[in-house]
């Protein structure tokens, strides 16, 4: 199929792109890598009045470490993240997760800002943003604001971005040196969207768990933090018994989807299994 008719704009500045977003009042879509948007348009699942191509705007692709935070420009390609020494050093969870994103051609063109803004519940990057308690920097006609991960994703492919706003930067705090991490994902084939995935980060303090973070992908309508399961670990530690209890709690917490890929019951089962696997791997790192 072919997309419905649309107007095309390729602004050369960020300000011009934001002005166009405001002009179309929610009827325009931003084109970054296009790996999600273009197929949706071809199948007419999306029919925007206008496309605003961001690829001619300079200075939106970068990876910088500043004052304990890694700052990643919205147009940074997945492949750049995959091979970034800064990401490998400071954000090993992201370094692991990015390798699970689709296939090489998609990672070559896809962008971190595009993936997060698209908010596909099966995508890995929204899950990582949740697990690392990241922030999104959005800019619009009213200026710039910083949105925490927990406030950014609102529902199925729905975010708290306003009609005249776009992501300009993603901020992730440098992971603690004592942190262990893991991503466990189940998909039909490598590179397919996750039927279920769990990202885990744990920080040990002797026999105790000082901090635990668990986030999902592919399970429900939106990537979520499993805070009650985190609390089990922070209270009871990282013993086999505590990990099993946290995994059981994780399976209770989710509201799984049922679709052609999997039943809700199977996704719930996978939540428990993958949570336990991820936590055991994360524990073993330190």
Tokens of 277: 């696997």
Asked whether residue 148 falls in the same domain as residue 227, the answer is no
Average pLDDT over residues 55-78: 96
User: Residue 171 carries which DSSP code?
Assistant: E
Residue 276 has pLDDT above 90, yes or no: yes
Verdict on whether the full-model pTM lies above 0.85: yes
Same domain? For 133 and 202 the reply is no
pLDDT at residue 193, rounded to an integer: 83
188 and 278 in a common domain: yes
In a domain, 217, yes or no: yes
- pLDDT the model gives residue 262: 95
> Which pLDDT belongs to residue 171?
98
Average pLDDT of span 25-36: 91
pLDDT for the residue numbered 274: 98
- Same domain for 274 and 229: yes
pLDDT at 36: 84
Instruction: Find the domain containing 217 and state its range.
Output: 179-284
What percentage of residues in the chain have a pLDDT greater than 70? 99
Task: Report CA 9 to chain centroid distance, whole Å.
Answer: 27
pLDDT given for residue 205 in this prediction: 87
- Which backbone phi and psi does 95 adopt, to 5 degrees? -60, -35
pLDDT tens digits along 162-202:
999 999 999 999 999 999 999 999 998 887 889 999 999 99
Residue 96's φ and ψ, nearest 5 degrees, are -75, -45
Domain closes at, from 123, 139, 173: 173
Tell me the pLDDT tens digit for each residue of 217-252.
Answer: 999 999 999 999 999 999 999 999 999 999 999 999
- Does 150 reside within a domain? yes
Same domain membership, residue 87 and residue 134? yes
Domain CATH number, residue 147: 3.30.465.10
Q: Quick one: pLDDT at residue 286?
A: 67
For residues 105 and 135, state if they share a domain.
Answer: yes
- 123 and 97, same structural domain? yes
The whole-number pLDDT of residue 280 equals 97
Is 2 a member of any domain? no
Tell me the backbone φ, ψ of residue 242, rounded to 5 degrees: -65, -40
**202-218 pLDDT tens trace:** 999 887 999 999 999 99
Residue 148's DSSP bridge partners are 135
Residue 255: count of CB within 10 angstroms of its CB:
12
For residue 75, the Cα-to-chain-centroid distance in whole angstroms is 14
Q: Does 24 fall in a domain?
A: yes
User: 67 and 31: one domain?
Assistant: no
- Please tell me the predicted confidence (pLDDT) of residue 223: 96
Query: Is 78 within 8 Å of 187 (Cβ atoms)?
Result: no
Q: Is residue 102 part of a domain?
A: yes
Domain assignment present for residue 259? The answer is yes
- Whether residues 229 and 270 share a domain: the answer is yes
Residues 185 and 120 in one domain: no
Give the model's confidence band at 38: pLDDT under 50 very low, under 70 low, under 90 confident, else very high: confident
Buried b (16+ CB within 10 A) or exposed e, 157-171: bebebeebbbbbbbb
Is 185 in the same domain as 238?
yes
Domain presence at residue 58: no
HSE, side-chain direction, 13 A CA sphere, residue 35: 24
CATH code for the domain of 214 = 3.30.390.50
pLDDT value, residue 77: 96
Contact 93, 183 (CB under 8 A): yes
Residue 177: phi, psi to the nearest 5?
-65, -30
Cα-flanking dihedrals φ and ψ of residue 168, to 5°?
-115, -20
Token digits for 121? 């519940």
Domain boundary among 141, 173, 205: 173
Please check the confidence at residue 267 and state whether its pLDDT lies above 90. yes
Residue that has been written with the tokens 């084109």 in this structure:
31
Dist. CA 228–CA 126, nearest whole Å? 19
The predicted model gives 3-26 an average pLDDT of: 96
Lowest mean pLDDT of 82-91, 95-104, 168-177, 267-276, name the range: 95-104
Query: What's the domain count of the chain?
Result: 3
Angle between helix 240-253 and helix 227-236 axes, rounded to 10 deg: 160
Whether residues 202 and 279 fall in one domain: yes
Q: What mean pLDDT, rounded, does the chain reach?
A: 95
Map 110-156 to HEC letters.
Answer: CEHHHHHHHCCCCCHHHHHHHHCCCEEEEEECCEEEEEEHHHHEEEC
Q: Where is average pLDDT lowest: 36-50, 72-86, 267-281?
A: 36-50
Token pair 């296009």 is found at 34
- 24: domain CATH number is 3.30.43.10
Q: What is the pLDDT of residue 90?
A: 98
DSSP E strand stretches across 12-148: 28-31, 50-53, 63-66, 69-73, 135-140, 143-148
Which of 173, 201, 233 is the C-terminal boundary of a domain? 173
- Confirm whether 1 is domain-assigned: no
């Amino acid at each position: 199929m072919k997309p419905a008719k649309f107007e095309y704009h390729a602004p050369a500045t960020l300000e011009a792109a934001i002005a166009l977003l405001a002009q179309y009042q929610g009827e325009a879509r931003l084109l970054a890598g296009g790996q999600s948007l273009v197929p949706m348009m071809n199948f007419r699942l999306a029919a925007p009045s206008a496309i605003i191509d961001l690829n001619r705007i300079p200075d939106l692709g970068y990876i910088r470490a500043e004052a304990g935070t890694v700052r990643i420009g919205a147009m940074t390609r997945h492949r750049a993240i995959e091979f970034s020494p800064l990401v490998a050093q400071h954000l090993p969870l992201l370094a692991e997760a990015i390798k699970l994103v689709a296939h090489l051609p998609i990672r070559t063109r896809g962008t971190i800002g595009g993936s997060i803004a698209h908010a596909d519940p099966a995508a890995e990057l929204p899950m990582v943003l949740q697990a690392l308690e990241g922030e999104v920097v959005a800019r619009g006609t009213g200026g710039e604001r910083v949105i925490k991960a927990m406030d950014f994703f609102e529902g199925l492919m729905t975010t708290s971005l306003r009609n005249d706003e776009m992501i300009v930067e993603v901020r992730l705090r440098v992971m603690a040196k004592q942190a262990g991490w893991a991503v466990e994902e189940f998909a039909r084939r490598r590179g397919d969207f996750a039927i279920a995935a769990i990202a885990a980060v744990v920080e040990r303090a002797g026999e105790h768990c000082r901090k635990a973070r668990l986030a999902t992908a592919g399970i429900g309508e939106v990537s979520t933090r499993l805070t009650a399961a985190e609390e089990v670990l922070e209270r009871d530690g990282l013993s086999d018994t505590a990990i099993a209890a946290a995994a059981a709690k994780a399976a209770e917490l989710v509201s799984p989807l049922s679709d052609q890929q999997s039943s809700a019951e199977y996704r719930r089962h996978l939540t428990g299994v993958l949570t336990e696997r991820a936590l055991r791997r994360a524990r073993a790192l330190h």
